[in-house]
Structure 1
Amino acid sequence: MDTISHASAPREVSRQQHAWLRTEVVGWRDAGIIDDVQAAAISDRYRPVSGSAASVLGRIMLLLGGGFVGVGLIWLVAANLDDLSPTARFVTVAALWLAVLIGGEVLAARRASAPLVGGIRLLAALGFGALIMQAAQSLQVPAYEPMLVGLWSLGAMLHAHLTRSVMPFLVGLGTGIQWWIWQPLWTDGTAMMGAVLSLGAGAIVAASLAVLCDGWARSFAWWWRLTAAALALAALFVAAIPGLYDGFDWSLWLGLELGAALVLTAAAVALTVRRSDRAWIEPVGALAVLIVAALLALWDVDTDVRDVGFDQWAHAALSIIAYVALAVGLLALDVLRQHRAISWIAMAALVTFTTFQSFAVFVPIVTGAWLFVVLGVVFLGTGTLVDRARRRVARSLDPVTGQGTDEGAQR
């Protein structure tokens, strides 16, 4: 076993994981499960990830450098590069993008520093956006068309999946979310209901893709889960705002988004059934959130804060109950998937949502300084209850450790 332990370089794990492993190895050795040689061999196979200030600063500088250069390229396109003809502008931007794209993969093939490769790939993903905008200018396409952002996202996602790189993936994810929400609202005048359906469908798609990415691209799955949580929370938040519903007309893009959500949900459920796990709960849960959000959005209540009626109280109460249920579900997902970022975003969203709803309920009743006192109590109470709920869920679902890790965020 000692020979095996030195056959390859030690694998880097988070400091929390390394500390847990050392504790477990000592326990196994004391229980007689392994001897001293085997304990040393196991410990030598892992090392904590480097987290010195210099290395962290270096990574930040490389990523910032790639980001600034990418934004600069897009800015140059926005300035139209007036000294060049449209064809020359497009060729110049395309040449710069290809040089950065190929250069990043050459560095990756030569096993260059991971932050350096990530920074170059980030620059290539941003440069592709500049290429899209320049092509649109050459073809006299308006720069404010949402389809351009969609094409940018598609190219960045293709780059990310071909190279298994997180930086292009994040560019594609950010631009993709923007396009997903913007495109149906671009053609549909009923903004509120369209936004609710688009956000809810986006949560379903993200949750389904997280399940589909498990096992072959865990870093992508980590970000898809975080996106699904954020979009689900946003959909329910918007749906709970009273008085914004003003009718609804179906649009082609909303239909396509809902259709894509259902297809991906079916694919994710079929895959999890074949794997005999319960990950199907994630896309199905997101579908349930969409249904609840749509019903809340359709519930038209009076918005006159001078006379709060039963329907307003009921709407606010049911909205809070639904939001608490979603937050608790996300806390459980954090424990099961070891995804601490989901808990943080769920707690922050729940406290913000409860405080927002409190304004609708308490403003007509109390005023002045007492209003701030009441809202402060609601804020503190909600935060305390959510934190206690997370700890209880953690103990019930993971009695050994009661806590998760942020492994995906370090990839």
Structure 2
Amino acid sequence: MDTIERRPLSGEHYRWLRRELADWQNEGLLDARTAEAITARYADVGDRHRRFSLGRLLLALGGSFVGVGLIWLVAANLDALPPMVRFVAVAAIWLALLTGAELSRVGGAVRGALRLMAALAFGAVVFQAAQSLQVPAFAPGLVGLWAAGALVHAYAFRALLPLVVGVVTGVGWWIAQPLWDDGSAASAVVGIGTAGVVAISVAVVHDRGLTRFGQVWRAAGALLGMVSLFVAAVPYTTTDGFRWSGWLFAALVAAGVAAGAALLVARGRARLEPLVAVAVVGVAGLMVLWDTGTDTSSVGAADWAHAAVGVVAFVALAVALVALGTLRDHPMLTVVAMVGLVVFTTFQSFAAFAAIVQGAWLFLVLGLVFLATGFAFDRARREIAASLEDTEQEGGAR
């Protein structure tokens, strides 16, 4: 049994498993030995994840600063050394960090910090190599190579922090690459929206095994979906200067393939996630095509309708994220939804309502909107949690 890797479960899911096993024992479906063997396959990580650790925080911050510092040194060009010497030095630092993280017997928090530094140091290696080859430092392809290396590191060693680095840099490359040649707002919406579809779809696929990795991808997809709707709802986001490119077509195809794969492997309600992500891209695209002008000092009926549709779509997505966060015991989704809704409501209020409601009255109206929204969200979250608890109790009774 010691050779079996224990799968992490949140506190809520682990307690549900223990209740189910106890009920099955009482019904004679399992004996005590079998129940213990099943329980031994899982680890309760709920309390550990909720406990604040100053040491972990300092190690993560230290690793981040060291990694960013290495990249900064490369950007500063280190003129005192020849290009090849600089590359060898940076590569040696990266290999030392990678070896120390994966081959040494250090503690979990220290290993996480070393892994984070190694993932960031790989970016320094990429940029130093590009500098030696006279490649423009701002080329998005370099970020793409950095993301690829971080993701390979993450999946090869089941390392969570390199995955975070890979997802962040990968999303940055995905969005920046088409904007390198076409900097229109509509291109940004397509890039952000398709990245969200891919991230959510990958998260659903990960539900069959790497659940921790799935949480990272799901949080990224949720944030990207909200950002795509936010940008699409801005009055200045139009199709001016937009043109289709090979990158945008490839992004759409990749998003479609990822969503299809997620639908094939998903079960039950999980199939709704890629469908909602695709719907978000569709709504964002329609919002961009619906051009009502950019003069926010004169608000007409079309502007009100455009703003209303944007608000309804954004609130619907926020509610869906709150429900998903509760169902999957993923508090980050609820945080993303709440913060995004506050920022979006504030922006829309100043964009659409400022021409009608002035000064202190505008802040009074915003405050009332926030209070009502917060009350509605908290009540919805509690009802979803209560419904889940009732469902688990009914299942245990049966």
SS of 1:268's equivalent? helix
| 206, 230, 238: which one aligns with 1:213 | 206
Q: Which residue of 2 aligns with 1:326?
A: 317
| 231, 235, 246: which one aligns with 1:238 | 231
| 358, 361, 364: which one aligns with 2:352 | 361
| 146, 149, 156: which one aligns with 1:155 | 149
CA contact (8 A) 1:327 1:346 kept: yes
Q: Deviations over 1:44-65 (max 9, x none)?
A: 9977777599982222232223
Q: Which residue of 2 aligns with 1:285?
A: 276
Q: 1:383 Cα deviation (Å)?
A: 1.9
| 335, 340, 344: which one aligns with 1:344 | 335
Give the TM-score normalised by structure 2: 0.86
Q: Deviations over 1:247-277 (max 9, x none)?
A: 42112211111111111112222223xxx53
* TM alignment of 1:257-406, pairs within 5 A: 257-272=251-266, 276-396=267-387, 399-400=390-391
Q: 1:42 Cα deviation (Å)?
A: 9.9
- The code of the aligned residue for 1:87 comes to M
Q: Deviations over 1:111-146 (max 9, x none)?
A: 531111111111111111110011011001111111
CA contact (8 A) 1:265 1:283 kept: yes
CA contact (8 A) 1:67 1:122 kept: yes
Q: Which residue of 1 aligns with 2:396?
A: none
**How well do the aligned residues superpose, as a CA RMSD in angstroms?**
3.3
- The code of the aligned residue for 1:78 comes to A
Unaligned runs of 5+ in 2: 394-398
CA contact (8 A) 1:331 1:393 kept: no
CA contact (8 A) 2:12 2:46 kept: no
Q: 1:89 Cα deviation (Å)?
A: 1.3
Compared CA separation, residues 91 and 173, structure 1 to 2 (3 A): same
Of 248-257 and 151-160, deviating more is 248-257
Q: 1:35 Cα deviation (Å)?
A: 11
* TM alignment of 1:69-84, pairs within 5 A: 69-84=66-81
Q: 1:30 Cα deviation (Å)?
A: 10
Unaligned runs of 5+ in 1: 403-411
| 85, 91, 95: which one aligns with 2:92 | 95
CA contact (8 A) 1:351 1:383 kept: no
- The code of the aligned residue for 1:315 comes to H
Q: How many residues align?
A: 391
SS of 2:77's equivalent? coil
Give the TM-score normalised by structure 1: 0.84
Q: Percent identity?
A: 50
Compared CA separation, residues 236 and 8, structure 1 to 2 (3 A): closer
Compared CA separation, residues 63 and 259, structure 1 to 2 (3 A): same
Compared CA separation, residues 397 and 299, structure 1 to 2 (3 A): farther
User: Is residue 158 of structure 2 the alignment partner of residue 164 of structure 1?
Assistant: yes
CA contact (8 A) 2:148 2:166 kept: yes
- Cα distance in 1 between the residues matched to 2:336 and 2:183: 30
* TM alignment of 1:99-248, pairs within 5 A: 99-107=96-104, 111-190=105-184, 192-245=185-238, 246-248=240-242
- Cα distance in 2 between the residues matched to 1:41 and 1:250: 56
